[in-house]
Amino acid sequence: MKKKVALVATLTVVFATYLSTVSNTIYGGDAGDLVASILDRGFAHPPGYPLYSLLGIIFSLLPVASLSPAGKITLVSTLSSVFSLFFVYLIIRQISEKEVNIPLVITVILSGAFNYLIWLYSVIPEVFPLNALIILSIYYLSIRYYKSAKTAYLYLLSFMFGLGVSHHHTFILIAPALFYLIWQKRKVIKFAPINIGGVFLLMLAGLSPYLYVVYAYCFSKAEIIWGKTDSLSGLLDLILRKGYGTFVAGPFVSNIPIHRFLQIKNLFLFVINDFSYFYILIFILALAYYLRLEKKSPEKKIFNSLWIALATFGPVFFFYANFPLTSKFLFATLERFFISFYFFCLIILYFGILKLFDIFKRFFSEKYIYVLFLVVVALYPLATALKNYPLIVSLKNDQTAENLGKDIIDSTGKKSILLLSTDTILFNTQYYFKAKYTASDDKIIVHENKFYTDYYALRLKKLYPDLKIDNNRKTTTQIFIKDNLDKYDIYANAKYRLDGLDGYSWKNQGLLYRLVKDGSSFDEGKAITDFWTMSKNKNLAASVKNNDLKFRNFFTADILRVYSTAHQNSGYYFLNENKYRAAYKHIEEAILLDEEDADSYYLASLYYKKIGDCRQAENKINIALSKSDDALYIKQLEDIGKNCFFDEVDKKRVDKAVEKFNKDLNIPLKNF
């Protein structure tokens, strides 16, 4: 009884800690899309996450005044993680032939609870904690079936399998471990019609959340939908993520073999970073524990399935998915997939610590063993918590992502169309618009990329009858702009082509461009200055200078990239207007916000060349070239040598550097 009380108390402490650090806003990434679609009663990007959406709707209705809509929906993640930690205990208990050591289990639970990734995704709105809970419950039920051969567990497995399909496609990675355990009982499985029928019906019951996306498309007035789900083929396209590429992480994935092998190295580095080198020692001890088990014992068989799960959620998945780690946004996209893998790592952690505990017993008396164990092992989760708490709590009330959406909405007119694309800009703006914007202005957020689908334009026409959309022809971005320009001001976060719109051009006004008729009284310089004066995120550079911990998070850091690019565009405008002081201010801010972006140094080089500081112009373009051998940068260096320097020594030095860069640039082409 005391052991159960200790376990419940531990999980209660974890839950209370999570509640105290729950993010009361969004933080970037998919959070804006997930929360906005729930508030809109639509469904998020493929595979739609209908189970998460239904739970999110329920939690969004909670009468908790202190929590924002995002905070309420985040509770789905929080509870999922707490229950996942409980399932870690249940699985350990099923694997171990000996009585479970509760102090060791508590150490493992706390080590997992305060792991940076598990903690982070437990206190922000995301789908991955619920996915981990489904995976762990399926694994637990498969162990129970292996040990008891009771048909009831097969029924429960079928239902959970259906729920897995209704939530996140990567749950299927548990299938090899599941089938391995079921295969061990193949001789006792009864293939009676009633059993087969029961399995089939319960799987359909698990799939029932997908009825929600059918309802959302056919009967709701939701704007945020990601598929035409009024037919079986459309529903399958959503489930199989046809728009992204079925069984592919995304269109950004490369097929270069060496990149796939590098993912294994990245996996190792992530584990070291989040668990420390201590975990490697524990992993080796867990392997020693496993090797001493009897070959045909149930514990050995279950352990075999654990290794299978660890492999499929770890090296197999990351080798296959092959995320290109070329930006902070892609790092953030990758790291979420570690969560389920880390929960399996916790199970391994228990048996490794158990082996270490047994080693301690050989050298120390029972009187001192628990004191030594506390010092050597149990302080690890405390150290982990102290290390990660500042990083987590920095996001609790951070408004950076929300302010991005507010900046975009507030910089547009009362009767406006906002053509938006890219996740960070679109999702954060959608969240602010659905959760916080209360004005009665006639503003329409349009997801520009969806004009390539066969349903989106018609959906807009249904929701906004004033929009001019011809049902008898394919609507493109250009056609949409041309047809609606007379009724709405048009804004976009990219300069889209203006086919058939002579006399109009895109004008910069901060984060967005505005479509303006040539010769109008629109003052582009004033619009840019006004935007940055009013921006809710105008102090981002100061936060970066102060090493604000919230920007250690990859998705939050991507917001810096968005503002850095906007400063680049503003700086470029003022350079062309020969307003050098204003240009330099924006270029300097761009570099502070994203020091890895070579374009900012290119602009700095242009600035110094214009004011006649050739040395600085050369230095800045060399920094850009150290980050990218773009032909544009080489051309700038060449221009500095020819048209800025007058001393022959300087000219020759620059010419020699240009010659080397051009030679290096041509080598790959010759090899190709």
Q: Write out pLDDT tens, residues 559-600.
A: 999 999 999 999 999 999 999 999 999 999 999 999 999 999
| Three-state SS at 490 | strand
Instruction: Quickly state the pLDDT bin for 331 (edges 50, 70, 90).
Output: confident
Question: What pLDDT does residue 253 have?
Answer: 66
- Confidence band for 320, pLDDT divided at 50, 70 and 90: confident
Q: By mean pLDDT, which of 317-331, 425-439, 599-613 is the weakest?
A: 317-331
CA–CA dist 440, 443 (Å, integer): 9
- The arrangement of strands across the sheet holding 504-508 comes to 442-447, 415-420, 489-492, 513-517, 504-508
Which CATH architecture best describes the domain 540-671?
A: Alpha Horseshoe (1.25)
pLDDT at residue 141, rounded to an integer = 96
The crossing angle, in degrees rounded to 10, of helices 554-576 and 423-435 is 100
Lowest mean pLDDT among 132-146, 254-268, 490-504: 254-268
Quickly tell me which residue has 């097969």 as its tokens. Answer: 154
Per cent of the chain over pLDDT 70 is 95
Q: What is the pLDDT of residue 13?
A: 95
**What are the pLDDT digits (tens) for 436-488?**
988 888 999 999 999 999 899 999 999 999 999 988 788 899 999 999 999 99
Peptide bond into 47 cis (omega under 30): yes
Q: What is the pLDDT of residue 669?
A: 39
Q: In the chain, which segments carry CATH 1.25.40.10? A: 540-671
Please tell me the pTM assigned to this model. 0.93
The answer to whether 181 and 305 are in contact (CB under 8 A) is yes
Q: What is the pLDDT of residues 496-526, one digit of tens each?
A: 999 888 899 999 999 999 999 998 999 999 9
The per-residue b/e assignment along 499-521, b for 16 or more CB within 10 angstroms, e otherwise, is eeeeebbbbbbbbbbbbbeeeee
Q: Taking 50 as the threshold, does the pLDDT of residue 671 lie above it?
A: no
Contact present, 457 and 472 (Cβ < 8 Å)? no
> Among 109-113, 193-197, 518-522, 609-613, which is the least confidently predicted range?
193-197
Average pLDDT value for residue range 298-321:
92
What number of residues does the chain have?
672
| 251 C-beta neighbours (distance < 10 Å), count | 8
505 forms beta bridges with 516
Structure tokens at 136: 């762990």
Instruction: Decide if 413 contacts 489 (C-beta within 8 A).
Output: yes
Query: In 3D, which of 23, 74, 27, 21 has the Cα closest to residue 404?
Result: 27
Task: Report how far apart the first and last C-alpha atoms of the chain are (Å, whole number).
Answer: 70
Phi and psi (nearest 5°) for 420? Answer: -120, 150
| Predicted confidence (pLDDT) at residue 668 exceeds the cutoff of 60 | no
- Only one residue has tokens 């970073």, namely 273
pLDDT digits 0-9 by tens, 10-62: 999 999 999 999 999 998 889 999 999 999 999 999 999 999 999 999 999 99
Calculate ∠ Cα 470-415-405, nearest 5°: 105
Helix (H), strand (E) at residue 445: strand 442-447
- E strands present in 509-590: 513-517
Cβ(355)–Cβ(288) below 8 Å? yes
- pLDDT band of 552, cuts 50, 70, 90: confident
What number is the average pLDDT over the span 393-412? 94
Average pLDDT over residues 311-338: 84
Q: Which of 105-109, 205-209, 269-273, 506-510 has the lowest mean pLDDT?
A: 269-273
What 3-state DSSP class applies to 444? Answer: strand
Q: Residue 254 above 80 pLDDT?
A: no
